[in-house]
A and B are shown apart, each in its own frame.
Chain A
Amino acid sequence: MRILVVEDDTDLNRQLVTALEEAGYVVDSATDGEDGHFLGDTEPYDAVVLDLGLPTLDGLSVLENWRRDGRTMPVLILTARDRWSDKVAGIDAGADDYVAKPFHMEEVLARVRALVRRAAGHASNELTCGPVRLDLRAGRVTVDGSPVKLTSHEYRLLSYLLHHQGKVISRTELTEHLYDQDFDRDSNTVEVFVGRLRKKIGSDMIETIRGLGYRLGAAGDE
């Protein structure tokens, strides 16, 4: 899962990036409106955390521009202007949720988790596929009830596949959503991680569709 953080305060930006990374997301960040807008316009993000008070281009305009250009990723706005008129203006501009400053990091994490889940069409914080169960809140994975230890890359891969289970996901899409913008897109590390994940959750869970990509589905689903 790849998240974009647009926040001009460098300390808060760093805190957000760290917390999100610790929660298992790949995070890109920008500290002004124009950079943020450019990233959101060109990279596929699973969610965006957007501050409204930004230099060069304010958050509301960034959001409006994205929505006008057909960018549909869920956006969580952070705002110090926490009157309802500001919140409603943000939501009307296309935001999916808001968090008022000052906030607790847990709150932002919970909201981001909910946005990503909701965008993929899941109602619960627990994603399951056959014997595999992922608790988004705790970041815990179990197979047939027994816990499985995953590295952060493996966790991201499984989480992305679980969010989009049943769909064929190309290697490029996986690369785009699992690594930040500086990652070398040509490397074949995705295949390596898919191989490792298969070993941990069962080899028949992830199906390779030749020439197209991967699909997560419980064995015998078809």
Chain B
Amino acid sequence: MTSEVKPAAGAQLAAKPQRSLASRLVIVAAVWSTIALALAGVFLVGLYERASERAFDAQLEVHIKALISGMLETSADEGRATQTVTAPTYRGDPRFSLPLSGWYWTVRKADSPQILYSSESLLGDPLNAPPIGGEEVAAGYSIGPTGDEIRVLQQRIFLGDEPYVIAVGAATAGFWADISEFGRLVTLTLCIVGAGLILAIFLQVRIGLKPLARLRASLSAVRQGEAERIDEALPREIAPLAVELNALIVSNREIVERARTHVGNLAHGLKTPLSVISNEARSSDGPLAEKVTEQAEVMSTQIQHHLERARMAAQRRVIGVSCETEPLLSRLIRAMGKIYQDKGVLVDFEQKVPIRFRGEGQDLEEMSGNLIDNACKWATSRVEVNVSPLNDPATNRDMFVITVEDDGPGLTPEQRAEAIKRGRRLDETVPGTGLGLSIVADLAALYGGTFELDGSVSGGLKAKLTLPALTRE
């Protein structure tokens, strides 16, 4: 059985990751550019289509004009010119003579669908002209004798005294091929322009957001404990942010420092008189002295506990503190060697890779100090301290584990559970407040870590402390 302290539930509310600013900007700009370019393409092709239609109609109109002029025969009669309508003599375009060439004309009286004259290319078939209605000139699409689409231009004209409708039609295949070719070219051009634009936007965003990346790197350096403050040489828009953050970091450190000094002073202020009272009482006899000794003991434990709580409260949420575990533990173990020099306990320390603790060095020192001290107190001859990295699969957080094993008498599972409780001293003959292990458990929980006691291979106690590590970038 292991006794374990779990971090408070809900301590880590993982924020849903948001898309990066750069990708937001690039995506929005890219979508907008694509839409704008597509609209421009459609508009351009539409314009081109209309212009092409007008040019096509103008071409058809030329043929109508030629037909009209070919239908009028002018004769000079008694000094007066008279016009008579005849079959058009127009042969201007050879395609009108070529059977089903795609180029056709017809002439009919306005009030009758009866075709009077038609081009040879029609081979006597009618030309499906859309109804002209009351207009002078009308253009429209229709189906030609070969089943292909044709564009027909019709003109109503008075020849002599009678209204005629002259229709000229031509297959649109070439016309549409032209337009689609134009559309293809426009699409290609706009795609190239679009790609260039997106690249430009990407570069612009990258360059534009560079100060933010710098701010991030600077903040990360502060978090790593590599820098004291954030670089304030930033563009006008975000410089105040860096200044404010720096002020926050400084104020945060000051608050912690003040609280720590205060706690230290309080400790000194209370503990010295308490030592005097308790020693005075212990050197006297009688029930009063006994009572005072007993109560001084209680006060001492209480003070110790509450000072520790105050210190813990003070160190919460300190921005950007971290420390290397190796030098800190080496120093601690060296000191321990001096303290336990008489006992001849050998402390082995092993850490293969560099690890940074995400938190106050003093707290790491406090936790590992209590564990190693405890192990040295109970060990027969050997204490093993091992530090190794660990990735917590449950939360995917980088952690590290400190194990402290001794070859002492060890504890039963029940005793282990008991040992973590505040103020419990399993052996009253060894000096101590009985707070050591409970402080370790409290501090570990505060950092979102865990603390477990287990049996070691050599029969002694094995303490296992899991704490958050700084991710190396």
Contacts and interface: CB of A to CB of B under 8 A. Distances in A.
Please say whether chains A and B are actual partners in one complex: yes
B369 A102 contact: no
A101 B331 contact: no
A100 B272 CA distance: 10
B282 interface: yes
Contacts of B370: 84
Interface stretch (B7-15, B88-96, B359-367, B377-385): B359-367
Contact of B365 (A19, A83, A91): A83
B427 to A, nearest CB: 15
A82 B361 CA distance: 15
B362 to A, nearest CB: 4
Given A53-B268, A84-B366, A85-B361, A103 B275 contact: yes
A102 B271 contact: yes
A167 B275 CA distance: 39
Contacts of A11: 273, 276, 280
Given A9-B276, A15-B279, A15-B280, A85 B271 contact: no
Nearest to B439: A83
A10 B222 CA distance: 46
A1 B368 CA distance: 36
Contacts of A118: 341-342
Interface in B227-266: 264
Contacts of B361: 85
A176 B220 CA distance: 60
B114 interface: no
A107 B365 contact: no
A104 interface: yes
B279 A85 contact: no
B274 A105 contact: no
A107 B431 contact: yes
B42 interface: no
Interface residues of A, number: 29
A84 B365 contact: yes
A192 interface: no
B283 interface: yes
A104 B271 contact: no
B403 interface: no
B440 to A, nearest CB: 11
A80 interface: yes
Interface residues of B, number: 36
B33 interface: no
B365 A101 contact: no
A81 interface: yes
B462 to A, nearest CB: 20
A114 B369 CA distance: 22
A84 B367 CA distance: 9
Given A88-B335, A102-B296, A83 B342 contact: no
A179 interface: no
B172 interface: no
Contacts of A15: 275-276, 279-280, 283
A123 interface: yes
A81 B268 contact: yes
A81 B338 contact: no
Contact of B431 (A81, A88, A104): A104
Nearest to A78: B275
A81 B265 CA distance: 8
Given A87-B369, A102-B300, A80 B268 contact: yes
A88 B272 contact: no
Given A91-B335, A91-B339, A104-B279, A83 B362 contact: yes
Nearest to B432: A100
A207 interface: no
A84 B271 contact: no
Interface string A88-112: 1001100011101111110100000
B275 A102 contact: yes
B335 A101 contact: no
Interface string B389-433: 000000000000000000000000000000000000000000100
Interface string A62-92: 0000000000000000001111110110011
Closest 9 pairs (CB-CB, A-B): A84-B369, A101-B271, A80-B268, A91-B335, A80-B271, A102-B275, A102-B274, A11-B276, A85-B362
30 contacts: A9-B276, A11-B273, A11-B276, A12-B279, A15-B279, A15-B283, A80-B264, A80-B270, A80-B272, A83-B311, A83-B365, A84-B365, A84-B368, A84-B370, A85-B361, A88-B331, A88-B365, A88-B369, A91-B335, A91-B339, A98-B339, A101-B268, A101-B272, A101-B274, A101-B275, A102-B300, A104-B431, A105-B282, A114-B342, A118-B342
Given A96-B338, A104-B282, A118-B342, 12 more contacts: A12-B279, A15-B280, A19-B283, A83-B362, A85-B366, A87-B335, A88-B331, A88-B365, A92-B331, A102-B275, A103-B275, A104-B431
